[in-house]
Structure 1
Amino acid sequence: MSQDLYQLLGVPRDAEPDAIKKAYRKLARQLHPDVNPDPETQERFKEVSMAYEVLSDPQKRAAYDRGGDPFGGGVGAGGFGQGAGFSFTDIMDAFFGGQGGGGGGGGRGPRPRVRRGQDALIRLEVELAEAAFGVTRELKVDTAVVCETCHGDGAAPGSKPVTCETCRGQGEVAQVQRSFLGEIRTLRPCAACRGFGTIIPDPCRDCSGEGRVRSRRNLTVKIPAGVDEGTRVQLSGQGEVGPGGGPAGDLFVEIHVAAHKTFTRHGNNLHCEVTVPMTAAALGVTLTLPTLEADLAGPDSELETSFDLEIKPGTQSGTEQVLRAKGVPGLRNVGRGDLVVTVAVETPTRIDARQEELLRELAALRGEEQPDGGVQATQKSVFGRLRDAFH
């Protein structure tokens, strides 16, 4: 070899493997043909790649340090011999910062059979009062669970997985291609074992080697007070069991709140509308109305099931009354919303003769036989406008 390999990479002879790898990545980014396509740079890139192949392999580096041929002969200065080859992973590492090992290694290794399961989602409809004050429900959940026959390992009783003979347990096989760089080796998942590194010769009949089966089970879920439409309650570890009997994902219970016949919810506030006749609105009245808690109250319940609403004399339609802290409790007990009551004044559409007589008498007493609707007439006749124009 006409040039010192350590000098080619710019590292001392006692450089650590990490320093050699770092130096090669830096030079590869500068000299790669995709960056600098001129012939001199390509030749330089070949030399740097050969130096890295030798110095990143402990056996080849030791042979080189002893003055021997690390490839066992047939290598000229700046070229590649019959045994020359380096991992395509190292070139990719130089550009993308991968963690592949040197000297043609650096594979990902076999992928595990045991993996975490997916999360699961179910939807649960609750009443408004249940969403406001909390409820406990029993649910039937259909998810993957650990196979009781093989206990998750996927093999039939009395058998066990064996090492794949194709990849020898590595989960990957190398594919070698020749190019101007020499022999480029790429790693691909082993088709025989699908990248696991092991094969199950006798799979469990109940789970077909998956280590899990689908099953319906009962689950108790506690819905906290204050949940709203679309709120998701997370139950850790209650989702799908993973392949190979891996840990279960989480179960999310998404809340759907049914419509209420009296109350509507806006945030933590409740809204309702009460209708009173015009006589009650004029004279005033006190109404007894049910609370939202009344939906949950039993015969011996201590919950407040009603409240009094005072309609003051002269209340107009559309008037709102706000009752503090009678709405929905906030999640995590953060205060409680208000109850907003809107008053709608009802005008009778059918009256008998006596009622009409009394209403006309009331209108006369109040001077309301011909109301103007609060709008004053401002338009003048044509002769009036002409008269004003000449004055």
Structure 2
Amino acid sequence: MRDYYEILGVSRGCDEAALKSAFRKLAMEHHPDRNGGCEEAAGRFKEINEAYSVLSDAKKRAAYDQFGHAGVNGPQGGPGGFGGADMNDIFSEVFGDVFGDMFGGRQRRSGPSRGQDLRYDLEITLEQAYAGAEVEIVVPAAMTCESCEGSGAKPGTSPTVCGSCGGAGRVRASQGFFSIERACPRCGGSGRLVLDPCKDCHGHGQVRKQRTLQVRIPAGVDDGARIRLAGEGDAGAHGGPRGDLYLFLSVIPHELFERDGLDLLCTVPVPMTVAALGGDIEAPCLMGGENCDGNCKMTVKVPEGAQTGRTVRLKGKGMPSLRSRDRGDLVVELFVETPTKLTARQKELMRELADLCGEQQNPKSASFIGKAKRFWEDVTGG
């Protein structure tokens, strides 16, 4: 009799994951259904199953490692006996995600089952994300039919037990050396037959309706946030619990603000005279009360000689945190605006100012001109 480790192509010290991976690969390769009922493949398949049934059991594997085949061929074992293992259990464990109903994985039950979860994409404004909001949404969802109370049968009648599966919802059929369990084809796995269906739900026990829900959006939510509403999904079958409703939030881009974590960024134009002399300007904000005046404006102090790109940070005036009492900052970026459409007198004053301003008033220009001159001299060799 061949060594079980050799059959599966694994080392004696392999872990459970490697053992299962090797078994899956070989079992898929040599499955009788994939080899047209070939007897050689069926024998190899049986040998692989026997090896895995022993090595996947910690106690049997220890006995096999110590005594070899004699350690597992006791009264419940024997060659080809799989050590008393239930083949349906083995395939449910290893192939539940591949074969589904065939080997017992993902079985449909005739009893109550949980309803499906639902997804709802909700757009909100930055203002709603900032302060929180109460919004109304309309969600199509499966509801228990009121006429038949979810039975699917015409009022005054009841579903009957399926005669093919005896109400189990599953039927077994022999295929080769093992049996296969499938959903009952007559009742579709429900275990019941509706002979006189309800006219409102047509025997399904559920109807799809529009539901109106009031949803509370917490302050501080960000784009991509997800909110779970327990029990607001589809109704469960046969009296099972409802599924959940998941709201996926997307924040509509704002025309004034950009969000960076908890900070709010805003670019504000500053008159050239204010930037030169210093002074106060108004900047928008999202919240009233003590943070700004009643028109959602804040006063920002512009330092003397401010340049485009300079930022003024207003502490605690940004977004609230969803999980703490922290708040971000409002970051105001200054954009120095050059005046346009000047009158003759204004132009005269600007020329006079230009004549009066020297390097001390324009240090960046003087520095740039010096660098440019050195560059030209290097290029021309002058």
TM-score (norm: length of structure 2): 0.67
d(CA) in 2 for partners of 1:252, 1:166: 39
Q: What is the CA RMSD across the aligned residues, in angstroms?
A: 4.1
Largest Rg, 1 or 2: 1
Displacement, 1:320?
Answer: 0.3
User: Which residue of structure 1 lines up, in the alignment, with residue 130 of structure 2?
Assistant: 132
Segments of structure 1 that go 5 or more residues without pairing to the other structure are: 1-28, 56-77, 79-85, 99-105, 386-391
Of residues 237-246 and 205-214 in structure 1, the stretch that sits farther from structure 2 once superposed is: 237-246
Q: Distance in 1 between matches of 2:90 and 2:131?
A: 59
Find the counterpart in structure 2 of residue 270 from structure 1. Answer: 264
Instruction: State the match for 1:219 in structure 2.
Output: 213
Letter in 2 for 1:328: M
Task: Give the 3-state SS of the residue equivalent to 2:339 in structure 1.
Answer: coil
Q: CA deviation at 1:199?
A: 1.5
Residues 134 and 217 of structure 2 are in contact (CA less than 8 Å); yes or no, is this contact kept in structure 1? Answer: yes
- 2:306 pairs with one of 292, 299, 315: 315
Q: In structure 1, what is the Cα distance between the partners aligned to 2:300 and 2:206?
A: 59
Residues 367-389 of structure 1 deviation map (CA, whole Å, 9 limit, x = unaligned): 3699656232235599986xxxx
| 8 A contact 1:282–1:314 mirrored in 2 | yes
Q: Distance in 1 between matches of 2:182 and 2:379?
A: 97
Counterpart in 1 of 2:44?
34
Contact 2:104 2:182 in 1 (8 A): no
Deviation at 1:322, TM superposition (A): 0.4
Q: Does 1:336 align with 2:330?
A: no
Classify 1:349/1:107 alpha carbon distance in 2 versus 1 (closer, same or farther; 3 Å): closer
* Structure (1/2) with the larger helix percentage: 2
C-alpha contact 1:110 1:169 (8 A) present in aligned 2: no
CA distance in 1 between partners of 2:119 and 2:338 (Å): 50
Q: CA separation of 1:145/1:291 partners in 2, compared to 1, >3 Å: closer, same or farther?
A: same
Alpha-carbon spacing, 1:284–1:166, altered in 2? closer, same or farther (3 Å): same
**1:213 Cα deviation after fit:** 0.7
Q: Does the CA contact (< 8 Å) of 1:293 and 1:304 recur in 2? A: no
Partner of 2:156: 158
Change (3 A) 1:239 1:92: closer
Distance 2:239 2:381 in 1: 97
In the alignment, residue 133 of structure 2 is paired with which amino acid?
V
The size of the alignment, in residue pairs, is: 302
Counterparts of 1:265 and 1:256, CA distance in 2: 13
Deviations 1:292-331 (A, max 9, x none): 125xx8xxx9978332111121111111010000001010
SS of structure 2 residue aligned to 1:131: helix
Letter matched to residue 225 of structure 1: A
Instruction: Indicate the SS of the match to 1:243.
Output: coil
Moved more, 107-116 or 198-207: 107-116
Q: How does 1:140-219 map to 2 (within 5 A)?
A: 140-177=138-175, 184-219=178-213
Q: Which residue does 1:361 correspond to in 2?
A: 352
Give the % identical residues.
Answer: 40
TM-score, normalised relative to structure 1: 0.66
Distance 1:192-1:224 versus aligned 2 partners, 3 A rule: same
- The answer to whether the 8 A contact 1:210-1:244 is kept is no
3-state SS of the aligned residue for 1:354? helix
